[in-house]
């Protein structure tokens, strides 16, 4: 099998890294004594000059896709005579890009007088990421440059594996491949269709086998055999007293076996086949897929909330939520349950009685008067005999001072309740001062006569 050499891989990577083209120019043919097997490490070099039998320019190149290109060498009957068992391709810098060890030596002969020479074509499929751009090959590969054998075999194998996924190692449709006694040691196998190892097997007429000695078992042996022109299912019946296993024959064909019947010492047939129901039979069943839950098996809301059913059923996300909510209710002072966390604003507001608070929100919540508050001079926005409301969310302290004068009187009202009144005659000192605590939401008002309020402070 052709392989890219380590030196070739490095050269391709180098050209791609430097945004330069790879120019594969020649095929090299060599006849190397004691060639052996291809190196696992892919370390290979151009053979010694004495082993090289011919060097020819690339006849044609083409791309299969962006990651695959093909190089072809055409040798007509004017070229020869020589034998080669090694083929390689090299670039313009004499770097060996790829090579192949041939399973058997190939002889190339030239026409000599009345003896015709032969024509040979060798193709190299080079696969490497981005190789089309690196080689600047813009012509698509012709069909003669590509060996489709591997790809066709892969298609056959994919189909076999798909059938294997559906039917398993062996399965037969109703009435097919049934074993019955014809007479003596002769048994009939009924016509029908089945799958063995993923290979479709069909008998269009009754098959007969001679079963002796007894007890024995009847087996179906299936294989895909053919060539590039076509592959067919080869189906055979085997009789064995011991279990059979899958195997590969001398020609490389894989054989798959499955047992269809056991025959006892008294000639009694025991069917061992696995049934492969037809699609119509399958769809006619009330529950054709018992391994799956049907849509009608989805749990209802009442069943989810009751939580007593023990039968396996399908649950939607909504039903799970409803079941949890039915089991765990909101907590109260007497019933344990789910409780939500309060936000900092809710804690500060102090109105919600259903949520819980954390140590952090409690720490960030002011505890009493003065905690987190400061004295503010609000004299410019306050005046005597005007009612104000404390909407700060917390209690505040108010200090009111009137200017000095004769027979000065100052008072403080909170929620229309007269709290205190001071009267004095002072023309030299700083005047009279009153202080009061105003609860959150309460109103407050100061009076002053005959002097006006000179200072007004609030702790908020």
CA neighbor of 396 nearest in space, from 431, 349, 441, 434? 441
pLDDT in tens, 118-173: 989 888 889 999 999 999 998 887 655 555 556 666 888 899 999 998 888 999 98
Identify the pLDDT of residue 217.
96
Percentage of the chain modeled with pLDDT above 90:
53
Distance CA 6, CA 26 (A): 18
pLDDT in tens, 195-248: 999 999 999 999 999 998 999 999 999 999 876 557 889 999 999 999 999 999
Q: Cβ(12)–Cβ(91) under 8 Å?
A: no
Q: Cβ(255)–Cβ(248) under 8 Å?
A: yes
Instruction: Please name the residues in contact with 362: beta carbons below 8 A apart, sequence gap of 6 or more.
Output: 347
Using CA atoms, how far residue 173 sits from 164, 181, 279, in Å, is: 15, 20, 10
Respond yes or no on whether the N-terminal peptide bond of residue 200 is cis (omega within 30° of 0): no
Q: Looking at 285-294, 402-411, 420-429, which range is the least confident one?
A: 420-429
Q: What is the pTM of this model?
A: 0.38
In CATH terms, the fold of domain 375-459 is Hemagglutinin (Ha1 Chain); Chain: A; domain 1 (3.90.209)
pLDDT in tens, 89-127: 999 999 999 999 998 999 999 999 888 899 898 888 899
Instruction: Please name the residues in contact with 245: beta carbons below 8 A apart, sequence gap of 6 or more.
Output: 257
| Residue 18, phi-psi category: left (phi > 0), alpha (psi -120 to 50), beta (remainder) | alpha
Identify the pLDDT of residue 318.
82
Q: Which residue has the tokens 């009137």?
A: 402
Domain locations in the chain as residue ranges? 3-146, 152-279, 375-459
pLDDT in tens, 36-59: 999 999 999 999 999 999 999 999
pLDDT in tens, 343-376: 877 777 667 777 777 777 776 666 678 888 899 9
Distance CA 203, CA 196 (A): 13
List Cβ<8 Å contacts ≥24 apart for 292-295: none
């Amino acid at each position: 099998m052709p392989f890219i050499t380590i030196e070739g891989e490095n050269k391709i990577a180098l050209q791609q890294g430097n945004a330069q083209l790879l120019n594969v120019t020649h095929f090299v043919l060599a006849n190397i004594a004691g060639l052996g097997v291809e190196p696992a490490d892919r370390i290979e070099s151009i053979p010694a000059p004495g082993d090289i039998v011919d060097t020819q320019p690339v006849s044609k190149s083409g791309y299969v896709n962006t990651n695959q290109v093909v190089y072809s060498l055409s040798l007509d009957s004017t070229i020869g005579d020589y034998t080669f068992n090694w083929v390689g391709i090299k670039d313009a810098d004499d770097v060996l890009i790829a090579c192949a060890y041939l399973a058997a030596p190939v002889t190339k002969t030239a026409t000599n007088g009345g003896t015709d020479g032969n024509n040979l074509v060798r193709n190299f499929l080079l696969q490497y990421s981005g190789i089309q751009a690196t080689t600047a090959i813009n012509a698509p590969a012709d069909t003669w440059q590509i060996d489709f054998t591997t790809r066709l075999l892969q298609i056959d194998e994919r189909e076999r594996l798909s059938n294997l996924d559906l039917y398993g190692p062996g399965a037969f449709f109703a009435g097919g491949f049934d074993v019955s006694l014809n007479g003596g040691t002769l048994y009939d196998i009924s016509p029908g269709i089945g799958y063995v190892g993923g290979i479709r097997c069909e008998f269009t007429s009754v098959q007969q086998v001679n079963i002796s000695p007894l007890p024995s078992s009847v087996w179906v042996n299936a294989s895909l055999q053919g060539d590039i022109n076509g592959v067919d299912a080869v189906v055979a019946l085997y009789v064995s007293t011991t279990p059979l296993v899958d195997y590969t024959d001398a020609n490389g064909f894989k054989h798959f076996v499955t047992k269809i019947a056991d025959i006892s010492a008294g000639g009694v047939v025991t069917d061992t086949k696995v049934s492969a129901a037809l699609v119509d039979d399958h769809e006619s069943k009330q529950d054709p897929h018992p391994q799956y839950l049907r849509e009608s098996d989805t749990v209802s809301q009442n069943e989810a909330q009751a939580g007593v059913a023990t039968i396996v059923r399908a649950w939607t996300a909504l039903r799970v939520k409803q079941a949890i909510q039915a089991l765990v209710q909101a907590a109260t002072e007497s019933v344990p349950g789910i409780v939500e966390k309060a936000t900092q604003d809710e804690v500060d507001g102090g109105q919600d009685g259903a949520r819980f608070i954390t140590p952090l929100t409690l720490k960030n919540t002011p505890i009493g008067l003065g905690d987190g508050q400061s004295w503010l001079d609000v004299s410019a926005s306050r005046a005597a005999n005007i009612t104000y409301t404390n909407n700060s969310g917390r209690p505040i302290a108010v200090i009111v001072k009137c200017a000095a004068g004769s027979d000065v009187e100052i008072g403080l009202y909170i929620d229309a309740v007269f709290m205190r009144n001071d009267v004095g005659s002072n023309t030299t000192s700083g005047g009279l001062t009153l202080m009061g605590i105003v609860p959150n939401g309460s109103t407050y008002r100061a009076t002053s006569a005959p002097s006006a309020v000179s200072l007004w402070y609030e702790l908020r």
